[in-house]
Chains A and B, each alone.
Chain A
Amino acid sequence: MRFEIDRPRCEGHGLCEEAAPDLLHLDDDGEVVFDVAEFGDEALERAKAAVRVCPVAALRLAG
Chain B
Amino acid sequence: MTALRRVVVVGGGIAGLTAADSLRASGFDGELTIVGAERRAAYSRPALSKALLRAEADLTAHELPPHEHGAVELLGVAATGLDPATRMVSLDDGGALPYDGLVIASGSRARRLGAADGEHVLRTLDDAIALRARIADRPSVIVVGGGPLGMEVASGALDAGCAVTLVTAGAPMARHLGAHLAARLERTALARGLTILRTPAARILPGAGASAVALADGTLVEGDLLVSGVGDIPNTGWLAGSGLDAAMRPDGAIAVDARARVRPEIVAAGDVAAVPTLGGHARSPIWHSAIDQARIAAVSLLRGDESPTLGGAPYFWTEQFGLTIRVVGRTPVDGEPELVDGDPEGAALLRWPHADGTATAAAVDYRIPIPRLRRLTDVAA
Contact = CB atoms under 8 A, between A and B. Distances in A.
Contacts of A52: 17-18, 21, 64-65, 291
A48 interface: yes
B107 to A, nearest CB: 16
Given A48-B21, A60-B65, A55 B367 contact: no
Interface stretch (B44-52, B118-126, B241-249): B44-52
Name the residue in A12, A13, A29, A49 with the highest tally of chain B Cβ atoms < 10 Å from its Cβ. A13
Name the residue in A13, A21, A55, A60 with the highest tally of chain B Cβ atoms < 10 Å from its Cβ. A55
Contact of A13 (B58, B295, B326): B326
20 contacts: A9-B61, A12-B367, A13-B317, A14-B369, A14-B370, A14-B372, A14-B373, A25-B369, A26-B369, A30-B367, A52-B18, A52-B64, A52-B65, A55-B44, A55-B47, A55-B288, A56-B47, A56-B61, A57-B44, A57-B65
Contacts of B216: none
B368 interface: yes
Contacts of A5: none
A60 B4 CA distance: 30
A10 to B, nearest CB: 11
Given A48-B21, A60-B65, A55 B287 contact: yes
Nearest to B67: A52
Contacts of A17: 369-371
Given A53-B291, A57-B65, A9 B369 contact: no
B261 interface: no
A15 B368 contact: no
Interface residues of A, number: 23
A48 B68 CA distance: 10
Contacts of A45: 25
B54 interface: no
Interface residues of B, number: 29
Name the residue in A48, A52, A61 with the highest tally of chain B Cβ atoms < 10 Å from its Cβ. A52
A60 B17 CA distance: 16
Contacts of B371: 14, 17-18, 21, 25-26
Interface string A25-53: 11001100000000000000100110111
Contacts of A25: 369, 371
Contacts of B28: none
A48 B22 CA distance: 10
Contacts of A61: 65
A29 B368 CA distance: 8
Contacts of B326: 13
B284 to A, nearest CB: 15
B321 interface: no
A7 B215 CA distance: 46
B132 interface: no
A15 B44 CA distance: 14
Given A13-B317, A15-B288, A51-B65, A56 B369 contact: no
A30 B44 contact: no
A45 B47 CA distance: 25
B74 to A, nearest CB: 21
Contacts of B367: 12, 29-30
Given A30-B369, A53-B291, 5 more contacts: A12-B368, A18-B371, A21-B371, A25-B371, A57-B65
Name the residue in B44, B51, B295, B370 with the highest tally of chain A Cβ atoms < 10 Å from its Cβ. B370
Contacts of B61: 9, 56
Contact of A15 (B21, B63, B315): B315
B374 interface: yes
